[in-house]
Amino acid sequence: MSKMVHITINGKVVSASEGEMLLAVIRREGIEIPALCHHEAVEPLGACRLCTVEITKEEWDGWSNFVTSCLYPVENDLIVSTHSPKVVQLRRTLVDLQLARCPNSPEIRQLAEEYGITKTSYEEIPDGDNCILCGLCTRICDQMGFAAISTIGRGHGKKVAPPLDEAPPDCVGCLSCALNCPTNVIEFTDAGNIRTIWDKQFELISCAKCGKKTITKEFAKALSESREIPMSYFEICDECHRKELVQTMGRIALWSREVVS
């Protein structure tokens, strides 16, 4: 069992498991701080730095430090400030930089407005593609076991892309990258039974019962092979599977009552 420690967040003493990351404890306390590059399904990276908080201890004689809370493990007697003037100013600078890179991103513009920024004070990249280079999409793709995309290039030319900027052979069209992108940069289309993403087309499976389009055949094959799920399972959508289960349980319950009576 993990050892429990006590820390103080914004004047309130709270308990946490030793080694638990600060961001998780902060969010558990219902305190909202931005963390665009964070997702519970993957290891933290601290790329956006927006979850930065100020920490100190009584024995530090007034000295404090700034840490990215998604990467910093809690320790006993830690004193944390999530919205001190210094933290807010640091966060404003980080948001200001993001606004310079992604001036047309609705998500970044909204975040900037929350910190009182209507126009960046840095040189703006007018043709920015709204990607904040958080790496969340590539990390999730790696975690899924496909590694179809990665970050390439350096400086202003750095971007997320498939190998050689061509349709990635390892992509299965699962949409894990697109659906978890914090600024909705990754585009895809579903037209009829065809899904297109990263310039690659996939055929969508239609539910044999209701006709609803579900996942791509490539994704179903990957799941079948990695998790030993029969391909026949994917012929019916999750909703119809649940309806079948309810009907089956209902028949079992009715049969049980008849046997008892």
Instruction: Please give the pLDDT value at position 254.
Output: 63
Q: Over the Cα atoms of the chain, what is R_g?
A: 24
CA dist., res. 222 & res. 233, Å (int): 13
Q: Are residues 150 and 54 part of one domain?
A: no
pLDDT of the residue at 127:
79
Q: Assess if residue 52 is contained within a domain.
A: yes
Asked, for residue 125, whether it belongs to a domain, the answer is no
Low-confidence ranges of the chain (pLDDT < 70): 1, 250-261
Q: Provide the domain limits for residue 8.
A: 4-83
pTM (2 d.p.): 0.86
Domains of the chain: total: 2
In a domain, 257, yes or no: no
How big is the CA angle at 63 (ends 60 and 64), to the nearest 5 degrees?
110
Cα–Cα distance for residue pair 259/188, rounded to 1 Å: 54
pLDDT at res. 253: 62
Spatial neighbors of 34 by CB under 8 A, at least 6 apart, are 48, 50, 51, 91, 95, 111
Domain presence at residue 131: no
Examine residue 250 and state whether it is found in any structural domain, yes or no: no
Residue 226 lies in a domain: yes
62 within a domain of the structure (yes/no) = yes
Residue 51 within a domain: yes
CATH of the domain at 63: 3.10.20.740
